[in-house]
Structure 1
Amino acid sequence: MELQKYAGSILLPDTDVVFRNIKNAKRFAIDIGGSLTKIAYYSTVSHRKVLYNAEKDSAASVDGKDYQYESSETERLHFVKFETKYIEHCLDFIRNHLVFSKESMAGKSIKATGGGAYKYAELIQQKLGLTVEKEDEIGSLIKGCNFLLRNIPDEQFSYSRHEDPEYRFINTEPHIFPYLLVNIGSGVSIMKVEADDKYDRIGGTSMGGGTFWGLGSLLTKAKGFDELLQLASEGDHRNVDLLVKDIYGGDYSALGLTGGIIASSFGKAMHHGHTKNDDSPGFSEADIARSLLFTVSNDIGQIASLYAMLHGLKRVYFGGYFLRNHPVSMHTISFAINYWSRGAVQALFLRHEGYLGAIGAFLRGAEECDTEKYSWGENYAGSSGLQSPLPHPPVGGWPGGTIDQLEIDRCDQQLTFFPLLAHPEEYVPDAVDLTKDKEARDYWLSCFESSLGSFVNRAISSQPNSPDSKERANKFRDKYLQRLHNLKNHPFAYGNLTVRSLLDMREHCLNEFDFPDPYLQQKKLENENALKLLKNHLDFLDGLDYNKRQETLIRGVLAGNVFDWGAKEVVELMEKGLGFKEAADKLQVRPWLHDDLDAWINRQQQSPYRCAVIFLDNSGCDVVLGIIPFVRELLLRGTRVVLCANSKPALNDVTAEELTMLMKQVTAVCPIISKHLENYTLCIRESGQASPCLDLSRLPLSLVDEIVQWGCDLVVMEGMGRAIHTNLLTPLTCDSLKLAVIKNRWLAHRLGGDMFSVMCKYETGSKKVSGEFSITNSVSTAAS
């Protein structure tokens, strides 16, 4: 096969703007479709990590005393799209950057799927010198789909153009099977998926995207698929289609058909001319395109509905070139499915549906991606989102414009659902979706933007010995600011827009520019100061009677929770010097905004809990003077305690590694803590989180196994991020205690309180959320 037969292209850029971290790429796969080529590659990303208890090293150390940075690596998967007509230059780029620059890949094979895996097999071998291992297209699609459903939050959604919001993100974990996968390419394939290794192609139709594009090219002057879709969005199909009311003068009640239902696609074309004029109603090319879109979509929707109902399936996922997250296509498919199934079948779409085949092909034989050992998560600093491809400036021979890519990072372990969720299939971490609440969305986007300067300054000051810290901090600012502005126009870009997602995105951008823990020095200082007060505080508590001690312990947790560098209005107080007693004095006077303190004290007078799992928040006074005395009380009552802290840094939240070191210092002050640590009745565990918030659908499997083994019957969550922004409305099968101080004036007013209002929410197991903070009342307020 001669290379000249293939179309040339513009030169791809010799830069990491499109192919990020290309120099460290190790393995890749390719999915070649008729229109788009998707390239998948695996890389390791180096970044800074704090090495604790290191010997003094002034060149690498932050403060020259107790710790220094070491190099760490994150495993990352990258997926990038290109048009297939540029296949030659894509392969040239791969050859120059992914193959021949890597001796370790010499003589190896490349995984390939899609029709182009056969069509271009010889070209790939000639260009790359690699053996082409062709992977089954259907199997790759399904493997990729299952991978995304399990690993990417808010991956799936329903779409309705005339509802607010248009996008509704659906949670089906932990039960993703069974489902129907309808892949709409040139034609349509329909697959029934019952398990990872149990699926069948049960049908299809030749009326697919190729039909729409082909007939559209014959009937209109549209020059491409996207132009044809745009044309369809501007048209009115009623000028071309024959409706029920055109035949009967209105509804056909005997058969339950409304007048607006299409009786015959293109039926009016028999009677009217092509161009509108004064003498004939006619119809436009836009009307033709709209009618054609409805014709194809209704056909696909009806067939998919029939297959779904025949096999008793409620969920149908749609993917393929015909959709590519185009609102017009998704709307017509959704309408057709709803109509033909009478609402019994749900049409669902995937944010990254274009990558299913590439992901599936890549996963074949990729040991580093073993889904039995690791979970994955979207990297918000590097991924484009739904309807919001990332802009990039002109570089080299590459024109400025947009790119479409997905990046996901490997977690250190397998993550799974918290076993004590009352309704895991309904679990959503966030109490509010900002896509549904414009007032809250505008406020929080503005809030995060206005506080950005302080994070830039904190990042710079955290690495005083680094000559490029200011440059990297400014790049962090620019990237995060670009993300915030993009979300103003595309709030659905990364799934549900929430306070949690905005916090996570900020952490991802900080890590992107090598600021893994900007508050490290601050946390160390606050821990040291709080430890000096611990012994006297414990002695004070021991001098109180039982009921007074229980109340003081809860007040102590709340007072400690005031110390939060993520709360803009509290930062000023902390910078001036805020003491533990001063913080306690600022708490709302009882009755609190939500006040279950008496119920909690009454429960404590009964039999002790077997095992309590506590999800921690901040370092310093929060953990040392708030949580540790509270834990000590539980231990004295005979309760095993599991302290769950972040796996990775976020703001001034304590990490599990930091907590382990801190508890060694606490043991010198408190023999009770020392004894229980030695007996393993007090344990420190990673929560699997790298966020100020808490997602109970992504906890380490090892932690979940221990929770089940020890019979946990109490869960404590503290802080705004864990107990208000997330999980305020989450019912558990065991008792729960949610404690937080509201340190945002806008949020406090929305909840009916003021600054330093207190949330003390105690619920018995399996109790549904009701009353003042019910789902209907709180979904637009409690975590907005």
Structure 2
Amino acid sequence: MKGDRIWTGHAKCETGEDCVKLKVKWDTGRITARVTGKSGLGFLVEDRQGHHKWLYMEGHSRAQHRYIHSTDFHSDTLPDHRVYEVSEGARLHFIKFETKYIEGCLDFVRGNLVGSREKMAGKVIKATGGGAYKYTKLLQEKLGLSVDKEDEMACLIKGCNFLLKNISDEAFVFQRHGNPEYKFQTADPNIFPYLLVNIGSGVSIMKVESEDAYERIGGTATGGGTFWGLGSLLTKAKGFDELLALAEKGDHRHIDMLVKDIYGGDYKTLGLPGHVIASSFGKAMTSHNESNTNAGARFSEADIARSLLFTISNDIGQIACLYAMMHKLNKVYFGGYFLRNHPLSMHTISFSINYWSRGQVQALFLRHEGYLGAIGAFLKGAEGDADKYSWLENYAGSSGLHTQIPTQVQGVSMDQLEIDRGDSAVTYCPLLAHPALYIPDTVDLTQDTEAREYWLRCFEEAAGKYESRAVSSQPISDTAKDRARKFKEKYVSRLQYLKIQPFAYGSLSVRSLLDTIEHYMREFDFPDPYLEQKQQENEKALRLLSKRLQWLDGLEWSPRQEALVTSVLAGNMFDWGAQEVAQLMENTDFGFYEARAKIQDLIQNIFSLNNSFCLLARPWLVDYLSQWMERLKGPPHKCAAIFVDNSGIDLVLGIIPFARELLQRGTEVILCANSAPALNDVTHVELVGVLKQVAEICGVIRRGLEEGRLVAMETGQGGPCLDLSRLDQSLAAALQEKVDLVVIEGMGRAVHTNLHAVFTCECLKMAVIKNRWLANRLGGDMFSVICKYEPVRVHQSPSLAEEGKKQDGLWLEAGHGHLDSVVVCFLIHKKKSLGLDSAFTSNLYQETGNNRI
């Protein structure tokens, strides 16, 4: 269905009959559709630019969505006309390139992103850096905009604060000979105070104490410009990158005088190792006594470039270290065009900081250090608004560290960063025992080679399944096959790149790989490929709910508690995100769709109404069921927060009976669901719809909803895993106010992430291991069970927690000097498993005591 600004027509059902009439109107940032038809129908709208929007019929009179959302209220008497709005999100696009290409960039911007000069009259462009002054006239002539110059240091600091607070794995320690070389830092809820060292042509050192309190405390004229200038005089290198590449090949020991060159070894009295540089370029002192030929052979250009790089870097490192120690700061962040995440430069500065501070000061680098000023300029232009939203790096549209093939536009190499804006702000889960030490992921795949190789291969093998699912989710689209093919190509290419550079986007994990799938799906206009499937599974499960609840109510207390837990675990088996389970569900023996007639038999076999259900013989892989049941003999919890997983059987026959039991005990319940779609996981909007349907079946649920004792809240996330450092603020406030029990369900949320998360309240983690490789590595088999109850840990120390973890605007930044780069930021509205090491296995044996693993 094509749309311009207003379009009216009919959508066709699978039978070819008109099933819904609609009138679609595009307005700034949203689509409004007037529809007539049955609830439970979804339809696709394609605009004149080829962008797609799914609109889904709901029982609400007015609903705002970001991507696809689905509900079905089985209502035959709906109003003839209802208004549905699809709110669009926004995305920041940053593009970084050398300043010498600025004129070509502005021509591109003028031709593609701005209107006529008359339309742009009176509008302002934010600019920062020396280039904001140097290129003012050029900006005005090319774009017809007024130039609003922002203070460079203020923008750098704003940008740095923004990245540290919002972008996962932004900061890292570089260890050139370490394994891994990149050690990404936990996002600390309190990032202040710190030292920011910006290395451009010169060096500025700033002490940052809060969002608004900072000062320049020093600097040096010996910076990147010095390296480039002297390098141009001493070598034939034609540019900064060529000079760096030359330094990589050299050996500074040929030209630098070391301690051992003077003393024959270590100078132990002063604690100076023999390999430490005593005099930069020291061996060149006698070069005038040699023939020109011998001197040239002895001191190659590569050796000169390397020695020069070490001279500049060591000087910067020592000065920064002295300032940090003087101001009693232990975190020093380095940024600027000189570094550009260049390994040799980072190694030299890290070595210098560590040496002079005796390990007391940490040199930290930023993945996106080249974007600080542009981000700060954007924030200046959006003053007061940025904190109202959440911000998330878009893996599909961003360059990684050391991108092998940079993006090329009109022959210019450039890097890019894309950041998606969420609808509401996020914050740390207030129930985490030690937020500063929290790491969501159970395993860092950059460190575990075996697990990394397995999971990258596993996701690559599954790429075809994702492609097929995407195509089948949009049967009326003529472009679906082409878009799905491009999705697969891009995604597989990214996986191939991650095999070579696993640290390119921070700590590689199953969570980041799953998030990458979602980002690429949305990039190619497949925001919710499992929409219809989720609806069908919800309907089938709802038909069985009444009998299931009757059967549970007929059980004695003890077998009922066991049946409730095993029902959650059994429901969690139905996960389209698990490759081996998806294969089972697609064949005739385990199929929902090729053999729909068998689905009810399947569910009834698993959720037997005739006997007490037993998923697997106990004890399970991790089995705390007895401890959980013992706890239930005590006082009821005040409020339980349950982080739900899959739609359909998992939600309806697993989680809802479990939540119902808690309500009957006098416990309030918050059901926490994704804000945006991911695989077959239930979204918040879908959850609200399902609860209304359940309320027609179950009085306990109905009264819970009416009394406000049962509520659905969104997590602020849109992936199959759970990052408790990025919870929707409203949910976080509710958790802090009254929750004393956290329940986390599913392999993505309770195994791939949060298996070792420590809380200040009780916690129950339940999951079925639906991956044979992972189950075997843990000492179990396919469908092994983790049921981990954790009582409140009194006086839990940070050291123990640490051990457990083992378990429509335009902004431009232009530098003045030749060394500097340009970063352009476009704010464009858009439409909207784990590998565990032997140490972890050992910990599981210790945790479960006499229980079998």
Partner of 2:315: 299
Q: Which amino acid aligns with 1:731?
A: V
Structure 1 equivalent of residue 105 of structure 2: 90
Instruction: Tell me the distance in 2 between the aligned counterparts of 1:614 and 1:491.
Output: 33
Q: Counterpart of 2:745 in structure 1: which amino acid?
A: E
- In the alignment, structure 1 residue 463 sits paired with structure 2 residue 486: no
Q: Does the C-alpha gap of structure 1 residues 86 and 377 become closer, same or farther in structure 2, counting only changes over 3 Å?
A: same
Q: Select the residue among 155, 161, 164 that pairs with 2:170.
A: 155
Question: Partner of 2:594 in structure 1?
Answer: none
CA contact (8 A) 2:70 2:535 kept: no
Partner of 2:675: 647
Tell me the secondary structure at the aligned position of residue 705 of structure 1.
helix
1:74 aligns with 2:101: no
Quote the Cα distance in structure 2 between the aligned partners of 1:651 and 1:131: 46
| Pair 62,148 (structure 1): closer, same or farther in 2 beyond 3 Å | closer
- Picking from 743, 754, 760, the partner of 1:727 is 754
Structure 1 counterpart of 2:753, one-letter code: T
How much has 1:63 moved relative to structure 2? 13
Partners of 1:454 and 1:172 lie apart in 2 by: 34
Residue by residue over 1:219-259, the C-alpha shift from the partner in whole angstroms, topping out at 9 and shown as x without a partner, is: 11111111111111111111111111111111111111111
Find the residue that maps to 1:195 and give its secondary structure. coil
Secondary structure of 2:386's aligned partner: coil
- Tell me the secondary structure at the aligned position of residue 436 of structure 1: coil
Q: 1:154 to 1:449 in 2, by over 3 A?
A: same
Paired letter, 2:434: H
| Residue number in structure 1 paired with 2:603 | 580
Gaps of at least 5 residues in structure 2 are 1-27, 30-48, 61-67, 76-81, 592-598, 608-612, 808-834, 842-853
Deviation, 1:647, is 0.6
The answer to whether the 8 Å contact 1:157/1:348 transfers is yes
- Worse-superposed segment, 573-582 or 596-605: 573-582
1:339 to 334, 341, 355: 355
1:613 aligns with 2:622: no
Q: Is the 8 A contact 1:507 1:691 kept in 2?
A: yes
Q: Deviations over 1:199-231 (max 9, x none)?
A: 000000011011111111111111111111111
Amino acid at match of 1:741: V
Asked if structure 2 preserves the Cα contact closer than 8 Å seen for 1:562 and 1:583, the reply is: no
| CA spacing shift, 1:321–1:414, aligned 2, 3 Å | same
Cross-structure match for 1:128:
143
Q: Which residue of 1 aligns with 2:484?
A: 473
Q: Which amino acid aligns with 2:215?
A: D
2:186 is paired with a residue whose SS is coil
Opposite residue 637 of structure 2, the aligned amino acid is Y
Is contact 2:199-2:223 (8 Å) kept? Answer: yes
Shift of 1:173: 2.3
Partner of 1:357: 373
Q: Deviations over 1:753-782 (max 9, x none)?
A: 1100000011112376989x9555686477
- Partner residue in 2 for 1:164: 179
- The amino acid that maps onto 1:661 is G
Aligned to 2:53: 48
Q: In the alignment, is the contact (CA less than 8 A) between 1:49 and 1:72 conserved in 2?
A: no
For residue 177 of structure 1, the aligned residue among 164, 171, 192 is 192
Q: Distance in 1 between matches of 2:236 and 2:790?
A: 64
Tell whether 2:681 aligns with 1:670.
no
**2:630 paired with 1:602:** yes
- 1:275-674 → structure 2 map (5 Å cutoff): 282-366=298-382, 370-388=385-403, 391=406, 398-399=410-411, 402-575=413-586, 576=588, 577=591, 579-583=602-606, 587-674=615-702
Change (3 A) 1:101 1:605: farther
Three-state SS of the structure 2 residue aligned to 1:405 is: strand
Alpha-carbon deviations, 1:625-669, whole Å to 9, x = none? 111111111111110100001111111111111111111111111
What SS class does the counterpart of residue 434 from structure 1 fall into? Answer: coil
Tell me if structure 2 keeps the 8 A contact 1:78–1:405: yes
Structure 1 counterpart of 2:58, one-letter code: N
**Within 5 A, what are the aligned runs for 1:649-728?**
649-709=677-737, 711-728=738-755
Q: Any conservation in 2 of the 1:62–1:462 contact (CA below 8 Å)?
A: no
Deviates more, 1:740-749 or 1:383-392: 383-392
1:28-39 to 2 correspondence within 5 Å?
none
Per mean C-alpha deviation after superposition, the further-off stretch among 773-782 and 175-184 is 773-782
Is the 8 Å Cα contact of residues 99 and 106 (structure 1) preserved in structure 2?
no
Deviations 1:718-760 (A, max 9, x none): 0000000000011111110000000000010111111000000
Matches of 2:245 and 2:640, distance apart in 1:
57
Could you report, residue by residue, the CA deviation over 1:102-144 in whole angstroms, capped at 9, with x for unpaired residues? Answer: 8653221211111111112122222222221111110010011
How far, CA to CA, are the matches of 2:494 and 2:539 in structure 1? 37
Pick closer, same or farther for the CA change 1:163–1:351 going to 2, 3 Å. same
User: 2:668·2:709 contact (CA, 8 Å) conserved in 1?
Assistant: yes
Q: CA deviation at 1:278?
A: 8.1
- TM-score under structure 2 length normalisation: 0.82
Partner Cα separation in structure 2 for residue 494 and residue 45 of structure 1: 29
The structural deviation recorded for 1:439 is 1.0
Letter in 2 for 1:325: N
What letter corresponds to residue 275 of structure 2 in structure 1? G
Residue 282 of structure 1, CA deviation:
2.4
1:739 equivalent among 766, 782, 786 = 766
TM-score normalised to structure 1 length: 0.89
**Count of residues in correspondence between the two structures:** 731
Task: Name the aligned partner's letter for residue 493 of structure 1.
Answer: A
Structure 1 residues 568-577 or 517-526, which shifts more?
Answer: 568-577
Instruction: Tell me: CA distance 1:717–1:50, structure 2 relative to 1, closer, same or farther (3 Å).
Output: farther
Q: Which residue of 1 aligns with 2:36?
A: none
Structure 1 gaps of 5+ residues are 1-23, 26-43
**Counterpart residue type for residue 235 of structure 2:** T
- 1:52 partner amino acid: M
User: C-alpha separation between the residues in 2 aligned to 1:688 and 1:488?
Assistant: 30
Q: Are the aligned partners of 1:272 and 1:281 in contact in 2 as well (CA < 8 Å)?
A: no
TM-fit CA distance, 1:392:
5.2
Deviation at 1:444, TM superposition (A): 0.6
**1:293-320 deviations in whole A, cap 9, x for unaligned?**
1111110000000000110111001011
- 1:330-385 deviation digits (Å, cap 9, x = unpaired): 11111111111111111111111101011111211325x71221121111111111
Distance 1:279 1:49 in 2: 71
Task: Tell me the amino acid that sits aligned with residue 774 of structure 2.
Answer: L
The alignment's C-alpha RMSD in Å is 2.7
Q: CA separation in 2, counterparts of 1:666 and 1:460?
A: 32
Q: Aligned partners of 1:176, 1:261: CA distance in 2, in Å?
A: 34
- Three-state SS of the structure 1 residue aligned to 2:222 is coil
**Which structure has the higher relative contact order (CA within 8 Å, separation 6+)?**
2
Give the aligned partner of residue 281 of structure 2: 266
Task: Answer yes or no: is 1:186 the counterpart of 2:210.
Answer: no
- Partner secondary structure for residue 475 of structure 1: helix
- Report how far residue 53 of structure 1 moved: 1.9
Change (3 A) 1:704 1:49: farther
